[in-house]
Amino acid sequence: MSRTRIKDILLSDKTDYPVNIKGWVRSFRNNQFIALNDGSCMSNLQAVAELNSLDEETLKKITTGASLSIDGTVIASQGKGQKVEVKVEKLTILGECDTEQYPLQLKNRPSLEYLREIAHLRFRTNTFGAVFRVRHALAYAIHKFYNDRGFVYLHTPIVTASDAEGAGEMFRVTTLPFDNPPRNEDGSIDFKEDFFGKSTNLTVSGQLEAELGAMAFSEVYTFGPTFRAENSNTARHLAEFWMIEPEVAFNDLTDNMDLAEDFIKYIIKHALDSNREDLEFLAQRLADEEKQKPQNERSEMGLIEKLEFVLNNQFERITYTQAIDVLLDSPAYKKKKFQYEVKWGIDMQSEHERYLVEKHFKKPVIVTDYPKDIKAFYMRQNDDGKTVAAMDILAPGIGEIVGGSQREERLDKLTQRMEEMHVPVEEMQWYLDTRRFGTVPHAGFGLGFERIVLFVTGMTNIRDVIPFPRTPKNAEF
């Protein structure tokens, strides 16, 4: 008999049919009641063995974490808490699990910090089961959203010679020996001898290559891993994270904002529709966690309520200059509550972003038209000579989830800006060709995938929404 997924059995009202189920034991009571989970959904399926039907040897091996195969009949449940259960007819132990050593016992609820250390096992907990099913649902919804709108999914390179953000936060890729690399006459390392014949690194963003694609397909997106060697040890930063980057020819900044807002709402709605049970569990988890906090630090809305609120309300749209004015006008500023300085020209710190989003507007905020000096070389210069057509989306509890802009499509302006910012113009002629051959206005953005997973799951540390986090001094598993 082929295996039936536990989710399919639980979703159906059908009874009195034979099944085979396989999974891992979550609990075993009274030598009779086995709660089995196969990861297809949050809920366990109860398998009930007739009293004294299992021999001593087998009984000893049905422990939390052990894997089983059960043949039986789906019947209407006698007990409370579930509609159906499986009456055990044949039970096979697939893999034993030593309770003395298995770290995931129901008795001692492990902390998220501890589970991070055993990330190879944490998928088997309710919390991480829910988080990673939701992560999957969001990834699926992303492809569906763009596919339904005619975008071409472009695979941009992971190894590259360019620095798309010009911030110098790159991991080098090389096969040169560390102890004795080939050198030029001036003592610098001779990368002509390296594998690719030039200095290469892991990509920080697929944007530049996505722009090349947009100049032919009109609308493209990338969805891939990106790498940043920034030494930010925070609950919001990873050294390896996934990013979705749409790039659209003929779009201006307003089109870009509309696309980003529609996109975020679409994937949240998909998660709410497809993973309700997981999100309800995560909402309860968050509510329990909030109870530990003092009253004034608790969030006003529950997780589901927050997600529905985001779906049903327009994001606030303000310029950077307006945002600075809001901050300068705020009680927090007047009472000197901000640690960092506030004035036009600053790169807003997380405390400023959180004030805008959580205290002032109480919803996602799109901030546009930032000072050009704190933004990347490719952003389109506004007529004021001071700002660029940039947009960041800030989300409650997270801060920046999206960074994007209309791109500078004018060759002379772009080249001049690259020179001012010491971006190697000669090496990037391929990029400038887009502006030479049929240039058009265009715009795009990057959504940090883990940041949106954080937002949707209500988890608080980014290390808990990617299977195996890479952060400074940590590349376990």
Residues found near ligand 4AD in the complex (CB under 6 A):
164-165, 205, 207, 228, 230, 237-238, 241, 243, 245, 400-404, 444-446, 448, 450-451
Minimum distance, C-beta of residue 86 to ligand 4AD, in the bound complex (Å): 43
Would you give the binding string for Mg ion spanning residues 380-409, x where CB under 5 A is met? Answer: -----------------------x------
Q: From Mg ion, ligand 4AD, none, which one binds at residue 194 (CB under 5 to 8 Å depending on kind)? A: none
**How many binding residues for Mg ion (CB under 5 A)?**
1
Helix ranges (H only) for 329-477 are 331-334, 350-354, 411-420, 429-436, 449-457
Residue 84's beta-bridge partner residues?
76
CA angle 65, 68, 73 (to 5 degrees): 130
**CB nearer to Mg ion: pick between 230 and 308:** 230
- Greatest pairwise CA separation for the chain in angstroms: 84
Q: From ligand 4AD, Mg ion, none, which one binds at residue 72 (CB under 5 to 8 Å depending on kind)? A: none
Would you give the binding string for Mg ion spanning residues 63-102, x where CB under 5 A is met? Answer: ----------------------------------------
Asked if 47 and 86 touch (Cβ cutoff 8 Å), the reply is yes
Q: Are strands 399-406 and 390-395 parallel, antiparallel or unpaired?
A: antiparallel
Residue 399's beta-bridge partner residues?
395
φ/ψ of residue 240, rounded to 5: -125, 115
- Residue 246 as a binder of Mg ion (CB under 5 A): the answer is no
Q: From ligand 4AD, Mg ion, none, which one binds at residue 445 (CB under 5 to 8 Å depending on kind)? A: ligand 4AD
**CB nearer to ligand 4AD: pick between 324 and 466:** 466
Please give the structure tokens belonging to residue 110: 């492990």
**CB nearer to ligand 4AD: pick between 41 and 164:** 164
How many CA atoms, within 13 angstroms, populate the side-chain half-sphere of residue 174? 16
Minimum distance, C-beta of residue 247 to Mg ion, in the bound complex (Å): 16
**CB nearer to ligand 4AD: pick between 48 and 249:** 249
How many CA atoms, within 13 angstroms, populate the side-chain half-sphere of residue 169? 17
Q: From ligand 4AD, Mg ion, none, which one binds at residue 399 (CB under 5 to 8 Å depending on kind)? A: none
Contacts of 182 (CB under 8 A, 6+ apart): 176, 189, 190, 193
Q: From ligand 4AD, Mg ion, none, which one binds at residue 23 (CB under 5 to 8 Å depending on kind)? A: none
Q: Which residues bind Mg ion (CB under 5 A)?
A: 403
